[in-house]
């Protein structure tokens, strides 16, 4: 049984947020400024990925049938007007 993209996306989002929280905790207990800066950068990257995933999850799902699109072998799909 496969999960829908939405289920997988929310699982991935939770993982990204968990990793960001962990990196922030490591930054808070870092013994040097360089180490702290490193963990802050890691946390920011996880948070950026989470924000990107949230944005993707909130977008409407594309039509599965491709209705309304026209494609030829030499051209990409374009919307019908």
Reported as a single tens digit per residue, the pLDDT across 57-70 is 776 666 554 544 44
Q: For 27-60, how does the pLDDT look when each residue is reduced to its tens digit (9 = 90+)?
A: 999 999 999 999 999 999 999 999 998 888 776 6
Q: Which two tokens stand for residue 67?
A: 């209705």
Q: How many percent of the chain have pLDDT more than 90?
A: 52
Residue boundaries of the structural domains of the chain: 1-57
Q: Is the pLDDT of residue 17 over 90?
A: yes
**How high is the pLDDT of residue 14?**
94
* Joined tokens for residue 40: 């802050």
Q: pTM for this one?
A: 0.65
Cα distances (Å, whole numbers) of residue 9 to 15, 32, 54, 70: 10, 35, 8, 29
């Amino acid at each position: 049984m496969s999960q829908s993209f939405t289920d997988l996306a929310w699982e991935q989002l939770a993982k990204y947020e968990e990793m960001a929280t962990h990196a922030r905790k490591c930054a808070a207990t870092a013994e040097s400024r360089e180490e702290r800066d490193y963990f802050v950068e890691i946390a920011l990257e996880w948070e950026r990925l989470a924000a990107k995933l949230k944005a993707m999850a909130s977008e409407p799902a594309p039509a599965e049938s491709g209705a309304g699109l026209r494609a030829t072998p030499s051209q990409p799909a374009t919307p019908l007007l």
